[in-house]
Structure 1
Amino acid sequence: MNANKAELQKEVFYKTSRSGGKGGQNVNKVSTKVELLFSVEDSSLFNDDEKALLNSRFQSRFNKDGLIQVVCDEERSQYLNKEKALEKLIALLGKALKVDKPRKPTKVSRAVKAARAENKRRQSARKETRKRNFDY
């Protein structure tokens, strides 16, 4: 991801509202809850391939307007909530753009196969000694 915090800050929109939770009377007076909205399609920070990748990975996170929405109401300060919401968005984008390397299938080694066979042989011998021999 080639976007830093300052460039990303220019492309996001904030909505604020009153937040529940701790804060006492402050909760009733000050809008500290922050909703961060980010449009992947309108962003100039990502190329077309990255936008396609983000669209496929964020399918469930888009709201009805096609924007990624991050909500933060953990702090008592609107400024701190904005900072936390932006950090959450950066973490989400970084995680979504990370391409996992493909897993190379490997064969079971000869030593593991031998150890499994030996374990089966021991277990079989242990159970064999528990059998009662009835002569009728």
Structure 2
Amino acid sequence: MSVSRYLVKEDEVTFTAMRAQGAGGQNVNKVSSAIHLRFDIAASSLPEWLRERLLGLNDTRISKEGVLVIKAQQYRTQEQNRADALLRLQALVDSASHTPKTRRTTKPTYGSQQRRLAGKSQRASIKSLRGRVDD
């Protein structure tokens, strides 16, 4: 089974370096190692159906204008954060391109129905024995 993967072109993505937030000491305070990745979904070269799916996602990272913003600040270097942001973008595109199989309705087999009913009647007989005892 071959899976068609829609790759995001790097020239359609803009990167902005900034200082990372949170703990990290002197390195965080003086080095712009965090990356903001911006990807304009509507202007991308992805297929139309995939663009519509991405724009239809209920994701706070997608703005009203259709621009996806991913912030990567996990690593100490700009290059690692840039690669992490690209991987996260590609993972989002891959998850949106996956179409789940349509469910086929099936009927329970005769044997499974009989087993279910036998279990129910056995449970009912157990519960009927829990009542008051008559002398």
> What TM-score, normalized by structure 2, do the two folds share?
0.84
**Match in the other structure for 1:21:** 22
Matched, 1:35 2:25: no
| Distance 1:59-1:26 versus aligned 2 partners, 3 A rule | closer
- The aligned runs of 1:1-136 (5 Å cut-off) are 2-4=5-7, 8-44=9-45, 46-57=46-57, 60-134=60-134
Q: Distance in 2 between matches of 1:58 and 1:129?
A: 53
Question: Could you list the runs of 4 or more consecutive aligned residues of structure 1 that deviate by over 4 angstroms after TM superposition?
Answer: none
Judge conservation of contact 2:35–2:82 (CA < 8 Å) in 1: yes
Q: Distance in 1 between matches of 2:106 and 2:113?
A: 14
Per-residue deviation, residues 68-123 of structure 1 (Å, max 9, x unmatched): 11111100111100000000000000001111111111112212211111111111
Name the stretch that deviates more: 84-93 or 66-75: 66-75
Identity of aligned residues (%): 30
Structure 1 residue runs of 5 or longer lacking an equivalent are: none
Once the two structures are TM-superposed, the CA of residue 29 in structure 1 deviates from its matched residue by 1.1
Per-residue deviation, residues 17-56 of structure 1 (Å, max 9, x unmatched): 1112354211111111111000111112x12222222222
> What TM-score, normalized by structure 1, do the two folds share?
0.84
